[in-house]
Structure 1
Amino acid sequence: MVLWQAIALAGGLSMVGAPIVYGLAPLGESLPDALCAVVNLTLAEDSAVLAEADLRPWHIFALCAGLLLGSHLLLTLARTYFRVLGARRRHRQLVDLLSTPLSKALDEADTQVIEHETPLAYCLPGRTNASSVTVLSRGLLNTLSKPELGAVVAHEQTHLRQRHHLLTMTFEAWYRALPWLPTNRYGREAVLELTEMLADDGALRYYSPETLLRSLALSSAETASPREAPLNAGSASGDASPTPETLITGARLQRLLVPTEPLGALATVSILVASAALLGVPTVLLLLS
């Protein structure tokens, strides 16, 4: 997860920073020098100073392209955030009207039950964990045993505690800003799968892999991730929620069927170093260019 975040941040920094640095190149030997020159040119009253800056049309074009791309990324992130926030607020209002609290004997968190026969479970993140809610359907309660239901609730509560919706929202916005970039699509899919794996790990702290697998197999609708809950209520993405098969197959299913050893210390350190290098190297090169 850390590596994918580093890839996304490094990619955005490079795509925005490279044309800006190229556009400012005639103004200084390094980026700080060029930025100081921009301030001086802005404050200069003599137009002849601007003429001496030796800025060519292609430099101005690159500078504008970098600024426009950076603005596009930030505006898309803000637009996605506020649209998802509004959809979750409307969804929460409907849940409050149509649901009843689950017995505290099962879970201490805010868990609501909607009277619907389709097995369904998802979580609605709030501004804090205390304002978040897990929603279960009556069909799910009638389908699963108490341990299996506990595994589902633990899975959803892990999503909320670890604030997975913030990660998935960021990658969703990055994908929507530049959908033609392959790494955006791969990153979004990978992060969604990784958040499900992390939620599985949270459930596996209290329940066996067999119990969690049975809870997934017996449910006709897989528990939705934090990103998917607002999608069902008309969120910013507008995509359909994944089917149960697409959520529990592949690496995630293999991981539950055949548990693997966690990464060793060397592999963990290597990933952290690679992530730091992805962020640090482009930043230093841009500053020194």
Structure 2
Amino acid sequence: MIPLAVFLAALAAVLAVVLPPLISRARFRTRTPWAAMLLWQAVALAGGLSLIGAPLVYGLSPFGATLHTALATMLELLVAGDFAALVGLHVHPTHVFALCLAVLLGLHLLLTLLRTYVRVLASRRRHRDLVRLLSTPAEQSGATGAHAELGEDVAHVIEHEAPLAYCLPGRTAGRSLTVVSRGLLDQLAPEELSAVVAHERTHLQQRHHLLTMAFDAWYRALPWLPTTRHGREAVLELTEMLADDGALRGHSRTALLRSLALSSSESGEDDAGTGAARRAQGATPGAGGTVITTARLQRLLVPPPALPRTAVVAVVLASAALLAGPTAVLLVV
């Protein structure tokens, strides 16, 4: 079992330190964002399994030749209270420490994810109450012409001159809110407003808030790992690219670019200010200037060709292989 523990430790080091900077700078992410998103999810899951699995497999190594038999033997000894047998099995303090580390790390990741989920739900509930208190439903806001462009989503208009648009996800589609400001309605033409709303609708349809919440929890649990920082930033960028692609299916590139330019012209502090606050409250950042990276802007100005099918298959297979490695060690071996 020691070679398996070494394999998991090496894989964890590669996924935590070596691979994340390479993926975050890879050019293919702008060509086929969903493939890059799939790869990041595989890196996150495989990294978590490897981080927990390496100390777990090492700690159980004195108890048996396979993980299943070793775990069963250890539980039998603990239930029987036969701690003297540990000496005969050559169980050292390092094995005990490794087992405790694996348990604590696993609990830490799960509890951080649960705490993030509960906090986001509570913040989202407060945010929704504030939106309903401080805003007006689009059909009652006097923006009758603009309301036709807001589609079937529940849209609320905030009486503020700053151009702003974002979506607030709900547990069901009927509870999701699309929030726009009066300044945005006044500045955008109907086609541009429609492009912004389509961008937000894509966020809601593809449930991007679940991805951003998971990677944010991963970062909060292990902020000292490069992979958590790169992963959180990459997922925010990729969700915006995917939402752009959703908007471009029914709207012109010019309309989307103009809406981005107008809605971000007066909200330059949104990345560090209101955008971060809305993400903390469970809102999905929208087209209004929240995550306008250089790569995102370049792919809108000069659309790159999609990845060839062989390259897409290679990314999918690489993602499957990354996830299959630690899974096979922990569940099959």
Distance in 2 (CA, whole Å) between partners of 1:14 and 1:175 is 16
Q: Which residue of 2 aligns with 1:232?
A: 278
Q: Which residue of 2 aligns with 1:134?
A: 178
Q: Which residue of 1 aligns with 2:108?
A: 72
1:85-96 to structure 2, matched below 5 A, reads 85-96=121-132
Distance of aligned partners of 1:164 and 1:91 in 2 relative to their CA distance in 1, 3 Å threshold: same
Quick check: 2:154–2:176 contact (8 Å CA) kept in 1?
yes
Distance in 2 (CA, whole Å) between partners of 1:73 and 1:42 is 25
Distance in 2 (CA, whole Å) between partners of 1:288 and 1:200 is 41
| Structure 1, gaps ≥5 residues long | none
Would you say 1:264 and 2:308 are equivalent positions?
Answer: yes
Q: 1:166 deviation in Å?
A: 0.4
Quick check: 2:108–2:221 contact (8 Å CA) kept in 1?
yes
Q: Which residue of 1 aligns with 2:12?
A: none
Q: Which amino acid aligns with 1:131?
A: R
Q: Which residue of 2 aligns with 1:43?
A: 79
Distance of aligned partners of 1:44 and 1:60 in 2 relative to their CA distance in 1, 3 Å threshold: same
Q: Which amino acid aligns with 1:55?
A: V
Distance in 1 (CA, whole Å) between partners of 2:243 and 2:287 is 18
Would you say 1:182 and 2:182 are equivalent positions?
Answer: no
Would you say 1:52 and 2:96 are equivalent positions?
Answer: no
1:1-289 to structure 2, matched below 5 A, reads 1-103=37-139, 105-106=148-149, 107-219=151-263, 220-221=266-267, 231-232=277-278, 235=281, 247-287=291-331
Alpha-carbon deviations, 1:192-239, whole Å to 9, x = none?
0000000001100111111100001011338x89xx768238649xxx
TM-score of the aligned structures, taking structure 2 as reference length: 0.79
What is the SS of the residue equivalent to 1:248?
Answer: coil
Q: 1:129 deviation in Å?
A: 1.7
Distance of aligned partners of 1:243 and 1:31 in 2 relative to their CA distance in 1, 3 Å threshold: same
Q: 1:82 deviation in Å?
A: 0.8
Quick check: 2:203–2:243 contact (8 Å CA) kept in 1?
yes
Aligned-residue RMSD, C-alpha: 2.5
Quick check: 2:163–2:288 contact (8 Å CA) kept in 1?
no
TM-score of the aligned structures, taking structure 1 as reference length: 0.90
What is the SS of the residue equivalent to 1:22?
Answer: helix
Greater percentage in helix: 2
Q: Which amino acid aligns with 2:134?
A: L
